[in-house]
Amino acid sequence: MNLEDAQKKLKQQYLALRGVGLYVLQLPLWLAIPVNLLRGKLLGVATAAVAIGLLSYAARLTQQHYRSRSANLARSGLDQADNDYRPYALAYTALAAASITFSVRPGIAFALTSALLAAAGYYLAYLHNSDPADAYQAPPRHIPGHLNATLREMLSGGFDAIETLEQHANRLKNYADEADIAAQLEKITAQARGIIAHIGEEPERIRAARSFLV
């Protein structure tokens, strides 16, 4: 096994394990159930049970995403998921945190703060920069300096449209079912950049391509 294959295998294993942390977070809740039963605090038992259910479902949705990416990586070499339900998992995690906080210290402000902190934690752990395709950076724009303001604005509008399509293409790369569409969008944007580069040096060609740029 060469280095590239070893790195791919390691990434598959890493992706398959993502989301396990949400199960670990449930351990204090499982311990709280018998403690609250002994104390006769049925509300605490119910709250812990609800929070466990919410976190379990959030963990399941999260693991579905990463296991799908792991399977597609092994099958096709592409780090893509068939579906992405992580935003729903974020919401369930926040709701679990809010329910626990509200049962311990009733108050909308405390529950809302707890929910926001839990959502931020989930976002940083599982959504923020989770895939290189999410970190889109547009290539440098080349707009000739000898053009007048109107023509420069036309070229800038063309670049805006191209970059919007490129962002959509990068998002679609996360989904195996949309890989063909993403590839087609990349071809279109590459051709569009070539057209702008070709006509940018000659103003009369820019005017001829006005309908394309705007």
Q: Is the pLDDT of residue 129 over 70?
A: no
Question: DSSP assignment, residue 130?
Answer: -
Report the alpha-carbon distance of residue 64 to residue 56 in Å, rounded. Answer: 12
Average pLDDT over residues 180-185: 78
Of 19-28, 94-103, 119-128, 200-209, which has the strongest mean pLDDT?
A: 94-103
Q: Percent of the chain at pLDDT above 90?
A: 17
Other beta carbons within 10 angstroms of residue 15's beta carbon come to 22
Report the alpha-carbon distance of residue 157 to residue 147 in Å, rounded. Answer: 14
pLDDT of residue 111: 87
pLDDT tens per residue across span 37-94: 998 888 888 999 999 999 999 999 998 888 887 887 777 766 677 778 889 999 999 9
Residue with token string 């949400």: 22
pLDDT of residue 93: 94
Q: Percent of the chain at pLDDT above 70?
A: 73
pLDDT of residue 132: 46
Average pLDDT over the chain reads: 77
In 3D space, the residue among 111, 205, 113 whose CA is nearest the CA of residue 158 turns out to be 205
Average pLDDT over residues 15-33: 81
Q: How sure is the predictor about 133, in pLDDT bands with cuts at 50, 70 and 90?
A: very low
pLDDT of residue 135: 52
Residue 202, SS3 per DSSP? coil
In 3D space, the residue among 75, 96, 100, 203 whose CA is nearest the CA of residue 148 turns out to be 203
pLDDT of residue 193: 79
Q: How sure is the predictor about 155, in pLDDT bands with cuts at 50, 70 and 90?
A: confident
Average pLDDT over residues 115-119: 92
pLDDT of residue 16: 62
Q: Give Cβ neighbours of residue 44 (< 8 Å, ≥ 6 apart).
A: 32, 35, 36, 103
Rg from Cα positions in the chain: 25
